[in-house]
Structure 1
Amino acid sequence: MSERAAKLAPAGAALVLAAALAVVIITTTPWHLIDLPKPDAALDFSAAEIDKQNQFRHELLPWSTVSWVLSLLVPLTIGFSPLGRRLYAVTRIRRWYLAVPVVVLALGLIASLITLPTDAMAERVTRKYGLSTEAWDLWLRDRLVNWLLLSLALVAISLGLIALAKRWKTWWWAPAAIACAVLVLGVSFAYPVIVEPRFNDFTSMPAGAQRDEFIQLAKQDGVPIKDVLVADASKRTTTLNAYVSGFGSTRRLVVYDTLLKDATPAQVRLVVAHELGHAAEDDVLHGTLVGALGSAFAIVLLRLLLGARVSDPRGTALLLALIVAGTTLASPVQNLVSRRIEARADYHSLQLTKDPTDFVEMQHELSVKNISGLEPSRWRYWLFANHPTPPERIAMGRAWAAEHGETVPPLVEK
């Protein structure tokens, strides 16, 4: 193939992948489900509940925001400055495939240590408000495990990219894009059985009326599930939650033990119906496929930005900095899509249970228990919110009720 074609191929691939990604996101995201009334927290949350949420955010957000900023500044500052190459030189390891893992682990460790004080202060706030029940040694252990898992993933990516770039100076990006997409698929499939057990123990829900109800609800919904798992979340938190992860043979419906303990059976049923909505729509598989496509696009962008320089292991810190920058820039789009998918799962829950009154009460109770943000600032909403706000979810319940000739009155009397 000609040199000109070799130069044009990455740009052409980037355009094709970008177009494919845009088409998939635009055509598969549930942009409109039902006309919603304007969300209004004052309709369903008392002044005391709103004040508590505001006070909690006032105390928590300074620490969590500083921690987030530091987690970005550390890799960006090191990666986009001579410090990155100096860090590689400090290792004094001749074999690049041994030096690269050391650099990756060191960068992650530096970032973790620098954010440790602000993360600890944020943890103190969650303890003060009764959301965290985690012992400090378990909290530190979780941070260590998270650092190791993330570092191992970045080590694998860095080694793979550098090795391919050394092997194929011009066309390394093509096999790298394919490999990265396959890696995303593999991680999503294996996550429930490899990563999740590192943080929680899972047991099958004991036989009984509630378990039978969940299995029957899944059958009614056309979603095959072999088991319902209970996570021992109470050793870390008092928040109430459930989720679906994995796909195919690793797909699992998981409920927190806190949810089973503190929510009413009707509320738990609605939460499970929401998670069944994710399974019915294959949201995990869909997100994985979009992620695979997005990762392939990111690899081609790396080729356009760095060219053959990816083969130089001394640029490992720069490579990591670009990964951090890319994931941060992509988060608003990811969160936008996630909010719409979560809204569809809410709608599915209403369609399956036909219980808008309990749905509204459930959203209120979960929000109060979890001290969820009711009206986040616009920039926080776009950058961090991957679920609709509680008032938006309650508006969904009222809209569904109105569409079916029902009325759900405000929970707060005026």
Structure 2
Amino acid sequence: MLRKWTFRAVMAYLLFGLAIYVYLFYLAGNAIPAQFKGTSVDPATFLNSRELMLSEEYSKIRNLLFFISTPYEWLFYFLVLIFGISKGFENWAKNTSKYHGIQTAVYLFLLSLLSFIVTFPLSYISYRFSKAYNISTQSFSLWMKDEVIGFWVNFIEMFIIVAVLYWLMKKFKKRWWIPAWLLSIPFMVFMMFIQPVVIDPLYNDFYPLKNKELETKILALADKANIPAEHVYEVNMSEKTNSLNAYVTGIGSNARIVLWDTTLDRLNEKEILFIMAHEMGHYVEKHIYFGIAGYIILTGVGLWLTSIIINRMVRKRGNELKVTGVSNLSSFPLFLLITSILLFAASPFTNWVSRYEETRADRYGIAMTQDKKAAVQTFQDLTKSGLSQVDPPILVKIFRYDHPTMLDRIMMVERFKE
């Protein structure tokens, strides 16, 4: 039985990977629709022949890695269960200490370390390709530093979540998902509050924008939009990437407007002001609050479905999965497997909502700056810096794109009426 389940799982993963490879490299078309040839959306008008070739190659590789990485994690969780590895880690943790907190920490460390080792090859391949295509500028040592920091940050967050979650599972046998859902709300708000000032600085250095003349113009836009911003921050991303970006993060007094130094170095002032107006559009449109509301709803539905599925799986397949009870730590890979599948299944909807909000922010940015030329140039420069596809395959757009495609964004600008 064990061999049969393992063979089927591995074969399913390999066949899926082969199907995705064929789709991305042979079936999905690369050309933009004929009616857009020669327009501002045609990559041939703002990329040279080498950049066109590299963008197609890199996009296909990056999309392939995206589609095979998530099922790879599913396969890992499944094999950890059926081979009794999770059960073995639980027994090891129980023999370490009589205290549940220490047991949870030991179990999670063993599982996290194994997960880090098993998924490391795909992470390294992704890093090497981004380096080869001149997207990443990180040295291997700096990249590994970020990987190690990420491991410990994820471990601490996961320890808090798992310790509380499995305590609730023991206390509330059937309705554990309700208090778990209610507690997830203040935890999420807390994480959003500390993200800009505690977690982000672990990876990069943040400092006030050096160009004070530009900061004055950005803050003038913020004042025009009734945004109570006092500072704009820049972050030294040039030591890690050639990509461009800017964002607003955090909530309350810890909210920050952040510009990557690559954006400051490679875009002109008008383009930067358009990007800032776009980010302010998210604030004015209250997207952060819609995002919080959406998170609360999806988390509640997700935990409810997970509770139903995990109970049924343990009841019917507990022996094969080496899990004797839902509240046992050994069931955690099953919990991760179910939630990961549910999140992937929900991604077309969440990506669609995100694309809608990004379009609204784009429209706000154009309306505020009244500079369609700068908006088009910005999107063309973003395409060039990230070697992005202007018009990606439909499956890539549905499952991967939380922003509109560059084709959609540029055409929206061209058709926009002030």
TM-score, with structure 2 as normaliser:
0.81
- Residues 192-341 of structure 1 aligned to structure 2 (within 5 Å): 192-206=196-210, 208-307=212-311, 309-341=325-357
Match of 1:111 among 100, 108, 115: 115
State the SS of the aligned residue for 2:326: helix
Q: Which runs of 5+ in 2 are unaligned?
A: 1-32, 315-324
Q: 1:311 to 1:65 in 2, by over 3 A?
A: closer
CA–CA distance in structure 2, aligned partners of residues 86 and 225 of structure 1: 52
Contact 2:248–2:258, Cα closer than 8 Å, also in 1: yes
Map 1:14-413 to 2 at 5 A.
40=36, 43=39, 44-46=42-44, 48=49, 49-79=51-81, 82-91=84-93, 92-93=95-96, 95=98, 96-206=100-210, 208-307=212-311, 309-400=325-416, 403-404=417-418
Q: C-alpha separation between the residues in 1 aligned to 2:398 and 2:112?
A: 26
| Secondary structure of 2:395 counterpart | helix
Corresponding residue SS for 1:74: helix
Question: Relative to structure 1, is the Cα distance of residues 348 and 101 closer, same or farther in structure 2, using a 3 angstrom cutoff?
Answer: same
- Check whether the contact 2:96–2:103 (CA below 8 A) recurs between aligned residues: yes
More RCO (CA 8 Å, sep 6+):
1
Query: C-alpha separation between the residues in 2 aligned to 1:318 and 1:335?
Result: 25
CA distance in 1, matches of 2:182, 2:326: 17
**1:229-280 Cα shifts (integer Å, max 9, x gaps):** 0011111111111001112211111000111111111111111111111121
| C-alpha spacing 1:237/1:263, structure 2 compared with 1 (3 Å) | same
How far does residue 192 in structure 1 lie from its aligned partner after superposition?
A: 1.4
Root mean square deviation, CA, Å: 2.4
AA aligned to 1:198 is L
Structure 1 pair 236–244 and aligned structure 2 pair: CA distance change class (3 A): same
The answer (yes or no) to whether the contact 1:79–1:321 under 8 Å persists in 2 is: no
* Aligned residues of 2:390 and 2:406 also touching (Cα < 8 A): yes
User: Would the aligned equivalents of 2:89 and 2:107 in 1 still touch at CA under 8 Å?
Assistant: yes
Identical positions, percent: 24
Alpha-carbon distance change, 58 to 187 in structure 1, aligned in 2, over 3 angstroms: same
Letter in 2 for 1:225: A
Change (3 A) 1:352 1:168: same
In the alignment, structure 1 segments of 5+ residues that lack a partner are 1-36, 405-414
Classify the secondary structure of the residue corresponding to 2:43. Answer: coil
Deviates more, 1:180-189 or 1:321-330: 321-330
Q: Distance in 1 between matches of 2:267 and 2:37?
A: 21
